[in-house]
């Protein structure tokens, strides 16, 4: 049943989808540390982690696995958060220059990075895992020489909009993005030329 629903949604999304997204940015060195309310350990993941990471998702597993392999192919790095050796959180960092995925074409500068695909297991939500993951990603981006980092959230996603602010991300802009017959409209996003905070 779940498979059928997820298939119908995918077909529908191909014909038409519309979203309003908030774009946020941060100067990596200005990040704020947030304490997770569980003993969380984060490390960089490898392709072999995909299967165990996907135990966290309860819907559309095969499409998630395909999507995560594509993110590796596009040069993104995966990070996994564990509680008692159980994967409970995932986040992705893109340190290249141009990225097309998640319905967007993102262009960033050499000293910038883009965060995407963050997810916390439903049983572990509300424990500051997401902001802790963001902090870790920013720390790693800084180690790679990145000065600024960006991400986008769904306007209606209260949890993600709250989580990014806990770490100190600043709001940059709001954008309406349409997708129809596989084409994305208004989905080219370039990192801002001016400072955003």
Ligand X SMILES: CC(C)(COP(=O)(O)OP(=O)(O)OC[C@H]1O[C@@H](n2cnc3c(N)ncnc32)[C@H](O)[C@@H]1OP(=O)(O)O)[C@@H](O)C(=O)NCCC(=O)NCCS
Q: Which of 163, 168, 169, 187 binds ligand X (CB under 6 A)?
A: 163
Compute the least distance from the CB of residue 106 to ligand X, in Å: 14
For position 69 contacting ligand X by CB under 6 A, the verdict is no
- When the beta carbons of 28 and 88 are compared against ligand X, the nearer one is 88
Q: Is 129 in the site for ligand X (CB under 6 A)?
A: yes
Classify the C-alpha dihedral 166-68-17-123 as positive or negative. Answer: negative
Q: Does residue 127 touch ligand X according to CB under 6 A?
A: yes
- Output the smallest distance, CB 88 to ligand X, in A: 9
Residue 111 CA, chain-centre distance (Å), reads 19
Q: What character string, x for contact with ligand X (CB under 6 A) and - otherwise, covers 21-50?
A: ------------------------------
- Residue closest to ligand X (Cβ): 126
- Strand order through the sheet with 104-107: 98-101, 104-107, 188-190
Q: Which is nearer to ligand X, 156 or 193 (CB)?
A: 156
With a CB cutoff of 8 Å and minimum separation 6, the contacts of 76 are: 92, 93, 94, 99, 116, 117
Position among 21, 23, 94, 130 found at the interface with ligand X (CB under 6 A): 130
Instruction: Give the span between the Cα atoms of 117 and 94, in whole angstroms.
Output: 11
**Count of residues making up the chain:** 197
Cα distance between residue 57 and residue 119, in whole Å: 9
> Which spans of this chain sit near ligand X (rule: CB under 6 A)?
118-120, 125-131, 153, 157-160, 162-163
């Amino acid at each position: 049943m779940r498979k059928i629903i997820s298939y119908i949604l995918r077909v529908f999304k191909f014909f038409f989808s519309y979203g309003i997204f908030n774009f946020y940015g941060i100067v990596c060195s200005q990040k704020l540390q947030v304490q997770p309310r569980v003993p969380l350990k984060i490390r960089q993941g490898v392709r072999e982690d995909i299967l165990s990471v996907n135990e966290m998702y309860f819907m559309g597993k095969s499409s998630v696995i395909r999507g995560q392999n594509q993110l590796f192919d596009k040069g993104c790095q995966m990070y996994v958060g564990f509680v008692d050796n159980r994967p409970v959180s995932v986040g992705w960092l893109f340190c290249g220059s141009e990225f097309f995925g998640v319905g967007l074409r993102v262009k960033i500068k050499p000293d910038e990075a883009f965060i995407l695909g963050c997810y916390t297991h439903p049983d572990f939500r509300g424990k500051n895992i997401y902001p802790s993951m963001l902090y870790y990603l920013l720390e790693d981006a800084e180690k790679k020489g990145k000065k600024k980092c960006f991400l986008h959230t769904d306007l209606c996603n209260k949890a993600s909009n709250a989580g990014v602010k806990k770490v100190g991300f600043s709001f940059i802009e709001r954008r309406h993005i349409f997708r129809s017959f596989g084409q994305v409209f208004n989905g080219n996003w370039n990192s801002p030329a001016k400072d955003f905070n």
